[in-house]
Structure 1
Amino acid sequence: MKKTVLASVIAGIAFSGQAFAVELYNSEGSTFSVGGHISMGLGNDDNDELEVQSISPRININATQDIGGGFTADVKGEWSVNTLEGGDNSFSTRLGYIGVSHDTWGRAVGGTQWSPYYDVGGIADMPIAFANDFLYANGYELGTGRAERMVSYRKTFMFGDDGGFNLGAGWQGDNAEGGTNYGNRGQLGLSVDLGPFYVGYAFTTGSVSGTDDDAMGNLISAKFGSYGDGLFVAAVYEMGDAFRNAVPMGQAGAYDSISVEAIAAFALANSLNFSLNYESHENDSDSKTIFSQMALQVEYNFTAKFMGYAGYQLDLGNDYADDDDDKYALGVRYYL
């Protein structure tokens, strides 16, 4: 019978994105591992100057403990690593949580974590060089990507050998960041797996200072296949009410928004993976495009842990500036 999603979460606690962590200890129901990845390459900056780049380098520690009764506890700490500059500010927190899981009763997590909203919205956020931007626009406070100070619950209901209904819910308490006060926030993620097919819906809402309306997002997504294994196609559509306020082009203040992300990828048997992705983000309050872009990318696994990547992102224009901002990147990534 197909392993449940929650069982896969426990088995894969040593994973970080596409990375296998190095297991350092496994004895009497306890495990401990270290993971992460470092990328290094060349690309252009905002002034179109060639520079050395590192894309989202990170290091993490992971541990699990069988606590009896079918329950497993796990802990994860993950930090972004400044690989290009020396000095004191070398690490900053990406993830930090404690979770408890059970195949029957589900999974509860507390701390800074990937949110149930991202479970549904992040299905197209796959390539190394250029991928989803709008989900990360407001940092951790809205919880559309990584969410700080969150308590979440997830459970998968299996039907048949290849089908599953996934339920996720999350809550964040009051939080203030950059002069903006974020009130209590709640979110819900629902999705269905049918073999290679997946469809999902996510919702989040909560008060934000500076607007009379709650900052609310509704998101739908769908995909076919698995990234890096033959044909993979995915799309995400988000409708936001007074939701976004910190995206490219320097927009200030919350506004209604419409965001789209889509990707088509095909991986050959030798692991050479070609992808084409498109993203747009619109200020629906003013009916103006804030950014739109398309990227052609290729990735290749020299070994299981050493990957090369190359990509070119074409700026498709916006309604706020005339200058194009095409991007390119070429480099390698090593997974711990």
Structure 2
Amino acid sequence: MKIKLLAALVAATACGSNAFAAEVYNSEGTTLSIGGHVSVGVGEYKSDDDVSVEQVSPRINIAGTQDVGNGVVVDMKGEWAVDYLDGGDTTFTTRLGYIGATHEEMGRMVVGTQWSPYYDVGGVADYPIAFANDFLYENQNRMGGARAERMVSYRKSFALAEDGMVNLGLGWQGEHTGVLIDNDPRYQVALSAKMMGFGVGYSYSGGEREDNGNNIVDGTSHIFSMNYGSYGAGVYAALVYGMNEYFYDLLEETVQLEGLLAYGMDNGLNVSVNYEAVENDKTSKTIFSQSAIQFEYTVAPSLVTFAGYQMDLGDDDDDTKDDDKWIVGARYFL
């Protein structure tokens, strides 16, 4: 098994933020690593106006791989969000939990709670630490917008010329019975390509679900993305556009837009500006719109400091535009 190919396929199911893990065991085709990060900051980070100490998506994970022969490597990952400021009964909540199998020729299959093929396309603008792509996480677990619960996925990469790659992703989630809303089985397909630093992608997510009146409707989303460069290394630009029916907040028709422009300097400083908006396409009203400027500085490979200010650009139901947010903090990778 080529290690570079395995790494590329496994990365296809990893989150869009920086990845860092410490290997604690490696022997005879078996590895075990511990990773995650602790992230804290001070600011007005939530919807209230109070300055407070906040956590910024901290997590801890355990991952392992096993070479089972015949070109197949099996891997597993368990990851938990950590509420280390409040504690109590919900100190740990599940983020990821899956088993995967990768073959150099056949591709990669993953079963469990995982980053979805839909996110492979839509997550290209979801990199900044403090403020990033919010609309992907709307009911993400059941709809598969970012992390998808109880999913079976398949991915395969194809070489295109010397420096190009085409990626195919498929996903399936079984029927989900909720407290208020039920989902029938959901399906995803994702197709992306990258060459000479430029990337394009398209993903579709579909399946029947109940609306607020318990009527059966098709909950679908088409998402398109373009990106250039590598986040944190020189110029990086990304654009994500989505069109939905009963997919976002159970609204009949919505469109969503996320743009990110960043520049990573050789001294470890990365500066970014993003814009995000969701519109009710049925009524032509803006649900929310916001923009943020952020700074991230890599002090050491395992330590990144950050600061961000997000401006509330308003919506058609609230013209006060008074929900600006800011935070200054640090992220330490385990």
With the length of structure 1 as denominator, give the TM-score of the two structures. Answer: 0.94
Confirm or deny that 1:175 pairs with 2:176.
Answer: yes
Aligned residue in 1 for 2:268: 271
Instruction: Give the Cα separation in 1 of the matches to 2:67 and 2:289.
Output: 47
Aligned residue in 1 for 2:236: 232
Residues 145 and 198 of structure 1: is their aligned pair in 2 closer, same or farther, counting only changes over 3 Å? Answer: same
Residues 228 and 99 of structure 1: is their aligned pair in 2 closer, same or farther, counting only changes over 3 Å? Answer: same
Q: Shift in Å at residue 18 of structure 1?
A: 1.0
Contact kept? 2:98, 2:113, Cα under 8 Å: yes
2:287 counterpart SS class: strand
Aligned residue in 2 for 1:215: 219
Aligned residue in 2 for 1:248: none
Output the amino acid matched with 1:22: A
Higher mean C-alpha deviation, range 91-100 or range 210-219: 210-219
Q: Shift in Å at residue 161 of structure 1?
A: 1.9
1:123 counterpart SS class: helix
Confirm or deny that 1:151 pairs with 2:152.
Answer: yes
Instruction: Give the Cα separation in 2 of the matches to 1:15 and 1:65.
Output: 21
Aligned residue in 2 for 1:30: 30
Structure 1 residue runs of 5 or longer lacking an equivalent are 246-252
Aligned residue in 2 for 1:65: 66
1:140 counterpart SS class: helix
Instruction: Give the Cα separation in 1 of the matches to 2:6 and 2:218.
Output: 32
Q: Shift in Å at residue 50 of structure 1?
A: 0.3
Contact kept? 2:17, 2:126, Cα under 8 Å: no
Aligned residue in 2 for 1:17: 17
Runs of at least 4 residues of structure 1 off by over 4 A?
2-7, 10-16
2:88 counterpart SS class: coil
Superposition pairs of residues 252-331 of structure 1, within 5 angstroms: 253-323=250-320, 324-331=322-329
Instruction: Give the Cα separation in 1 of the matches to 2:33 and 2:117.
Output: 25
Deviation sequence 1:203-249 (CA, Å, 0-9, x none): 0100111244300000100000000000000000000012111xxxx
Contact kept? 1:6, 1:156, Cα under 8 Å: no
Instruction: Give the Cα separation in 2 of the matches to 1:29 and 1:109.
Output: 20
Contact kept? 1:7, 1:103, Cα under 8 Å: no
Q: Shift in Å at residue 8 of structure 1?
A: 2.2
Confirm or deny that 1:139 pairs with 2:140.
Answer: yes
Instruction: Give the Cα separation in 2 of the matches to 1:113 and 1:271.
Output: 30
Residues 98 and 3 of structure 1: is their aligned pair in 2 closer, same or farther, counting only changes over 3 Å? Answer: closer
Output the amino acid matched with 2:142: E
Instruction: Give the Cα separation in 1 of the matches to 2:248 and 2:310.
Output: 23
Residues 213 and 11 of structure 1: is their aligned pair in 2 closer, same or farther, counting only changes over 3 Å? Answer: closer
Contact kept? 2:124, 2:227, Cα under 8 Å: yes
1:88 counterpart SS class: helix
Aligned residue in 2 for 1:249: none
Output the amino acid matched with 2:194: D
Aligned residue in 1 for 2:48: 47
Residues 12 and 304 of structure 1: is their aligned pair in 2 closer, same or farther, counting only changes over 3 Å? Answer: farther
Residues 222 and 12 of structure 1: is their aligned pair in 2 closer, same or farther, counting only changes over 3 Å? Answer: closer
Output the amino acid matched with 1:325: D
Aligned residue in 2 for 1:333: 331
Counting aligned pairs with the same residue, the percent is 50
Contact kept? 1:19, 1:305, Cα under 8 Å: no
Instruction: Give the Cα separation in 2 of the matches to 1:42 and 1:203.
Output: 38
Higher mean C-alpha deviation, range 69-78 or range 85-94: 85-94
Output the amino acid matched with 1:172: Q
Output the amino acid matched with 1:228: G
1:244 counterpart SS class: coil
RMSD (Å), alpha carbons: 1.8
Residues 15 and 288 of structure 1: is their aligned pair in 2 closer, same or farther, counting only changes over 3 Å? Answer: closer
Structure 2 residue runs of 5 or longer lacking an equivalent are none
1:244 to 241, 248, 258: 248
1:118 counterpart SS class: helix
Confirm or deny that 1:8 pairs with 2:5.
Answer: no
Instruction: Give the Cα separation in 2 of the matches to 1:13 and 1:288.
Output: 34
Aligned residue pairs: how many? Answer: 328
Output the amino acid matched with 1:75: M
Q: Shift in Å at residue 3 of structure 1?
A: 8.1
Q: Shift in Å at residue 6 of structure 1?
A: 4.6
Residues 13 and 46 of structure 1: is their aligned pair in 2 closer, same or farther, counting only changes over 3 Å? Answer: closer
Instruction: Give the Cα separation in 1 of the matches to 2:230 and 2:108.
Output: 24
Confirm or deny that 1:162 pairs with 2:166.
Answer: no
Instruction: Give the Cα separation in 2 of the matches to 1:16 and 1:284.
Output: 28
Residues 37 and 25 of structure 1: is their aligned pair in 2 closer, same or farther, counting only changes over 3 Å? Answer: same
